[in-house]
Amino acid sequence: MTIAQSPIDFAAPGLSTQPAALNADERATRRLGTYLTLPTQILLAFIVIFPLLMELYISLSSWTPLDGRNWLYAYRYWAGLDNYWELISNARFWQSIGRTLFIMVVCVPVELLLGLGLALLFAGEFRGKRLFYSIMLMPMMVVPAVAGYMFFMLFQSGGPINNILSTLSGGAVSIAWLSRPNLALAAVMIADIWQWTPLMFLILLAGLLGVPEDQLRMATLLGAGPWWRFRLIVLPRIRAILLIALAIRTIEIFKVFDTLYIMTTGGPGVSTETISVYIYKVTMEDLQWSYVAAIALVILVVLSALAAPAIKRFAPAR
């Protein structure tokens, strides 16, 4: 049993600083570090390297599970870059991307603004704050699949939402939300906004609390009303947090599946088919796995290329 040194202890004075020669303690420490991270590295490789290679391989063929043979034999069905050409020219694919981007462009800003509004409402002390805060967080803690079902029920022709609209408008409202393309899309977006605005609220409230109260008081003493305080003091200081919230939500919404699929299964038709739903359908219904592999690879490459510089800027790897 050796006594390991802390890695920040430098070599004892008197020893020359030879970078190549690590003493026994330092080597033991290095080894320990490697052992600690080994399981994770293995799992990571497992989930990254194998899939990538597999997908690369499969995507260059026209193999599907229907062919009866194991995927390893995909080379028998060599297809070169066919799947990639298909990808480029497939209208349905691009429409699903467009739809996903549309949802992103509408929902994320709305969630951000509503979340900011809620955070401003909740900043400061008032009676019942803790309870209200907990209730306000509930939507985002609901299992997304269950939320999907909730909104499925809510948007039924004879369901509560139409009921409320009827009460408000005086007449009988019986909109068939989930059977009309544009309305289904709207319903899906409403569900997303309902579920994830609280997340923006959570993050932005934490950000607001970081604004120094003293500076706000000082600003008020100098004659600044609420709007000036917000514009000149609060907003500049929560800029970074706004960006973080924006990034997180944008990434997640690109992956949206659970809630949406349970609400509409991508329908009516393909009117709510996002990229994840599209991939799912092509995988499970059409079974065109080699085509899907190509799509998957392209998505992975594009996302990596987009994400890496952004991450490097936000969190410089220590």
CB of 1 to other proteins, least distance (A): 6
Which of 196, 169, 55 is CA-nearest to residue 114? 196
Q: What tokens does 78 get?
A: 């060599």
Residue 66 in contact with other proteins, rule: CB under 8 A: no
Task: Give me the helices (H) in the chain, please.
Answer: 24-59, 82-89, 91-122, 129-141, 144-154, 160-169, 181-209, 213-221, 226-228, 235-237, 239-254, 258-264, 275-284, 289-314
Interface residue with other proteins, options 36, 81, 105, 176 (CB under 8 A):
36
Closest CB to other proteins among residues 185, 198: 198
Residue 101 in contact with other proteins, rule: CB under 8 A: no
Residue 64 in contact with other proteins, rule: CB under 8 A: no
**Binding segment for other proteins among 14-22, 39-47, 104-112, 179-187 (CB under 8 A)?**
39-47
Residues 241-260: x where in contact with other proteins by CB under 8 A, - otherwise, as a string: x--xx--x--x--xx-xx--
Reduced to 3 states (helix: H, G, I; strand: E, B; else coil), residue 61 is strand
Site for other proteins in 281-310 (CB under 8 A): 283-284, 289, 292-293, 295-296, 299-300, 303-304, 307-308
CB of 238 to other proteins, least distance (A): 11
Q: Give dist(CA 63, CA 71) in Å, integer.
A: 7
Interface residue with other proteins, options 87, 104, 108, 150 (CB under 8 A):
150
CA distances from 66 to 27, 102, 141, 283, 284 (A): 53, 34, 39, 12, 11
Site for other proteins in 106-145 (CB under 8 A): 118, 120-126, 132, 134-139, 141-145
Residue 223 Cα to chain centre, angstroms: 42
